A and B are shown apart, each in its own frame.
Chain A
Amino acid sequence: MSFNLPPELKSRVAHVLADVRELFVPVLGPVAAPRAPAGEGSPSQNGDAAKKALAGLQDALRKFWETLNPTSARTLGGTFKHLAIVGLNKTEMLLAGEQTPISAANWQEITDDTMRKHLGMIFFAPRGLDGEPVNPYLFLTENTLQDHTALAPEDDETGMSIAEAQLDGFALLDFCRMSPAMPNTVNMLVGADVLFHWDVKDSYVLPTTPTTWVRDVEQVLKTYPRTTRAHIYTQWDTDLMPPNDRMTLVNLRDMPLDAMTWVNQPTVQEAYGGQALLIGLLAAGLAIGALWWQAGVLGNVEEDVRTLEQSIPKEGRFAEMNRSIGELEKMLAMREIFFLTVKDTARAIDQSDTQIANFEVKTPDANEVPTHLVVTVETAKNAYNGWIEEEPVAKNLMLHSALLAGIRKPPSTVFRLEGLVEIRPNVREYKRLMEGKSLKPGQAGYVTAAKAFAAKQLDDARVQDAKTEESSE
């Protein structure tokens, strides 16, 4: 999607956006700042108006940002190890740890990459006819590129590439972009062959020499009202400077670094690229390490599982064995109660003097592990007639049985009684009794113990019956 705006409106929008971008440079850092504002066209009058309107807000924001982030109020010496001042016809260098600057033919003699990386190059790029600073790359490499860019250097991509390559690594500080000084204040920088000073309105470049700079400074100061105070930043010998209350001499390294002058200030990506790469590598290393550790843990656990699996039967055979032996155990636990039930039933029949035709003890379902036993007693034919004779028979059977939990008369043409014996509680009680005597069927004393068990069960049943009768009465 695209909009076809009129050229004038387009230009206004572009300038307003540029002003807003510059406004947020102190807050956002140099991300939004142009790396090299080369070849910018002259702003329109509306653009200038917007720029002026936003300038105050920009200063306020910058001060606010510096208050929040004290490191933003950096000095030249704190930011760069080495400083170079490119004058009109001379270059002066202030190396790390040195207090006295040395002269150099030109900055192009500096070839050491480490020095280039830590060197702040101060220069004074003049403004063009439109009032905007010229391209700093082309300004500094003007002599080198004059053969390539004789007419329109900004439009020559090859020339720009050569210029950027020659200045690669240098921190370029164009002091002509310096922010205005405070009212009633003039700041001066003396170095190389230049006396650079800026006030609340503008900045100015004047030639000077190490022998005449004191007089030149006084001449400049005379052009300002007597109440104007001066800050002079220099590394030159200041012994010749007469005492003056209006002037403050400051070491060049202690000069505050104005972010507006640093035309190729590295972006966040460039400034923190190494740290980001290190953090990324550390994160990747941690992730790989953690995954490797997890793989080790997982491998150990799986190895333990495999080792254990080999020592136990396979699932199918294990289940079959478990099932078959479980059935055997449960059936064997039941068989002694079955034997006792047969004996108990026979004794109950005998003691109740019941006339029977036959009796039977069986499990309800032969294919299942039983929980109950069913006792069936069929009386002799015509031995008992009617409810009055049959009821006492059933009652006597219950009274003389130790194991019967209940008895009923199912519908039948003959007098037949069905009793129910619970296996589990009897097995528990039987085991408790037998474990004390450590007896097994067939051993001496077993019959006595079994009788004792039966007698106890019978006594319990009678007591229970007596309680039931009392409660019913």
Chain B
Amino acid sequence: MIRFAIGLTLLVCSILIGGYMFWDNTGKIERARYELEDTYSRQDDAGKLQQRIRTARRTAMVAGDDQKFTIERLLDIGAPGLEWRFVGTPRQYGSTRALYRHTFRIVGPTTYAESQEVMRKLVTLPGFVPYKYCFACTVAPKDTPPELQMVQIEGYLYVYDPNTLY
């Protein structure tokens, strides 16, 4: 009698508790597998990000080179012609300065051909992204030769820190 009762109790408890826990664990395993797939996906993205970071290091300017005179020498500009100016403060992404961008403005009297040469350098050198080009939009200062027009180029300069972005 007691064996039957114990056996029946064990059977019922095993079915009820075991079934519930099995069902619960099945859900947990399913969730964990989804999480694993998500982690694999993020690992894949991270791997791609590593590749993209390597590309970004080639296409952005190294921190330290983002100095007015260095850039002017690089672009072969300077007063009294086109002049480089940083606008505002650099914008950084998140809490690190691994990659940040300057907003720049190149303004000055010049010829169209010279401005195109500057534009060619801007799209060739790493980190420069012009988003505005204006030819003869403003009045040239007095005593400016008549063949020169005021040119204004605005854009972003992307800079990376080699010690942080790797």
A binding-site residues for B, Cβ under 8 Å: 267-270, 272-281, 283-284, 286-288, 290-291, 294-295, 297-298, 301-302, 304-305, 308-309, 311-313, 316-325, 328-329, 331-332, 334-336, 338-339, 342-343, 346, 356-363, 366, 370, 440-442
**7 closest A-B pairs by CB:** A287-B18, A280-B10, A320-B94, A276-B7, A273-B3, A280-B7, A277-B7
Instruction: Tell me which of A269, A319, A325, A358 contacts B135 (CB under 8 A).
Output: A358
B50 to chain A, nearest CB (A): 9
Specify which of B1, B55, B130, B136 is in contact with A269 (CB 8 Å cutoff).
B1
Whether A283 contacts B10 by the Cβ 8 Å rule is: yes
Give every chain B residue within 8 A of A281 (Cβ-Cβ).
7, 10
Q: Which of B15, B35, B128, B132 is A360 in contact with, Cβ under 8 Å?
A: B132
List 5 extra interface pairs beyond A301-B35, A357-B136, CB under 8 A.
A276-B4, A284-B18, A309-B39, A324-B94, A329-B52
Instruction: Verify A294–B29 contact, CB threshold 8 A.
Output: yes
Q: Which of B19-27, B68-76, B77-85 contacts A (4 or more CB under 8 A)?
A: B19-27
Residue in contact with A334 in the complex, picked from B11, B15, B26, B129, CB distance below 8 Å: B129
A66 to B108, CA, bound (A): 116
Cβ of B29 and Cβ of A298 under 8 Å apart?
Answer: yes
Who on chain A is nearest to B121 by CB?
A442
Q: Is the CB of B94 within 8 A of A308?
A: no
Known: A294-B29, A339-B119, A363-B132. A321 touches B10 (CB 8 A): no
For the complex, what is the distance from the CA of A323 to the CA of B156, rounded to whole Å?
16
Q: Which of B15, B99, B124 is in CB contact (< 8 Å) with A328?
A: B99
CB contact under 8 A between A290 and B22, given known A279-B11, A334-B129 = yes
Bound-state Cα–Cα, A331 to B155, Å: 10
On whether the beta carbons of B28 and A338 are closer than 8 Å, the reply is no
* CB of B158 to closest CB in A, whole Å: 5
| Inter-subunit contact A366/B124 (CB<8 Å) | no
> With A328-B60, A360-B133 given, is the CB distance from A312 to B43 under 8 Å?
yes
How far is A334 from B18 in the complex, measured between Cα atoms in Å? 61
A sample of 22 inter-chain contacts (CB < 8 A) reads A269-B4, A270-B4, A276-B8, A276-B11, A277-B3, A277-B4, A277-B7, A283-B18, A284-B10, A286-B14, A287-B18, A287-B21, A291-B22, A295-B25, A311-B46, A336-B123, A338-B133, A339-B123, A342-B119, A343-B116, A356-B136, A359-B135
